[in-house]
Amino acid sequence: MTSISETRLRRLLSQPFNIELFRNKVGMGLYIENGFRITSLSSNASRRDTENSISRFNNALRLRGDKAIAKSACRLGYCDYGHLVDPKANAKELTHPARRLVNEIFWLYLPQEIVTSLQTEESLANPAARDIIKNAVQSNGDISKVLVNHAMAIMYHTAAISNEVDFLLGRAKPDDRLWQQAYQFWKLVFSDDAFWGHIEHRIATLDDFRLKSKDIAELKDKIPRIVLSFNSVFGKYYAKSGEKNQLKRHLGFINQSGFEKKNAWMCWRASPGTAWEMNCARCSHVSEKLSIPIRATMAVYRSARFEKIWTAC
């Protein structure tokens, strides 16, 4: 496979998803632009701690520029290829309740001392970073299991994205186990009422008229789609590059995630220009699963029978 140029990679990592959460656009920069990551704060940080941390970060940014980000932020394995257009604005999002909640959900609801320990790591993609969480949990039995699962989902998810970026650059082989582990943890999180109860508690704590407990329905519907949208963007890139095996690989991650299929496929259908690749990949997957000719699969693609077959696979 031909390696991607850094310019094209930066464009790929800045692509928006076709999803809005609380009227806020989200995209491939979800983790890179996360205000909690940039300021190395826990998602549990109090309003006062958040405001103080933002103030310190802004002062450092004014004095040292990009060096301030390098010093203060938790490092992802791929953030050098992302694009922080306005880190000051990213940090300020933490003062806006709805935007803060989005940042919270895609960061770590762990004690601040654990996040501070992670900030000293070279990259959250390293296994050593995951070991920090495991060791901390063993010594502190008060941390909620669902929030540990949530943290591990994010750690494996960012590690999988980092590995995919290294693969695109020709620096590593794809490690599918990272994606699989990420989705195992995400599935545990999404299926646990305790997690959604925690989010309801956070909505009540943020105490903003724009956030209501009924918003949980929107979160339950859209968060799994946002998580899978990373695979859809990578898959579309491979489809346009003619890398059919890599497209099928990401199709497999989506299909085997254990999330509802309606969520898994909405992130593909919403993007123009990819329907043909998606349809072919879906038919190919069904053909392989059922050991039937691809032509026979495509012959029933537009019928209601195909959706039943697809669901069964």
- CB-count burial class (<10 Å; 0-12, 13-18, 19+) for 270: middle
Look at residue 192 and give its three-state secondary structure: coil
**What percent of the chain is predicted at pLDDT more than 90?**
55
pLDDT in the model for residue 54: 95
What's the whole-model pTM score? 0.86
Q: Hey, what's the torsion of the CAs at 166, 169, 173, 175, to 10 degrees?
A: 40
108, 43 Cβ separation under 8 angstroms = yes
Tokens of 148: 């540990």
Q: Outline where the chain has alpha helix (H).
A: 6-12, 35-39, 47-64, 66-72, 87-92, 97-105, 112-119, 127-139, 145-168, 176-190, 193-206, 216-240, 244-255, 261-269, 275-290, 294-299, 304-312
Cα dihedral 106, 109, 113, 118 sign = negative
72, 57 Cβ separation under 8 angstroms = yes
> Angle 33-34-40 (CA atoms, 0-180°, nearest 5)?
120
pLDDT in the model for residue 248: 84
174-225: pLDDT as tens digits? 999 999 999 999 999 999 999 999 999 999 999 888 888 788 999 999 999 9
C-alpha span between 42 and 44 (Å, rounded): 5
pLDDT in the model for residue 71: 84
Q: Work out whether strand 24-27 and strand 16-21 pair parallel, antiparallel, or are unpaired.
A: antiparallel
pLDDT in the model for residue 66: 78
User: Which parts of the chain register pLDDT below 50?
Assistant: 270-273
pLDDT in the model for residue 271: 45
C-alpha span between 36 and 154 (Å, rounded): 13
44, 97 Cβ separation under 8 angstroms = no
H or E, element range at 17: strand 16-21
Residue with the two structure tokens 């069964």: 312
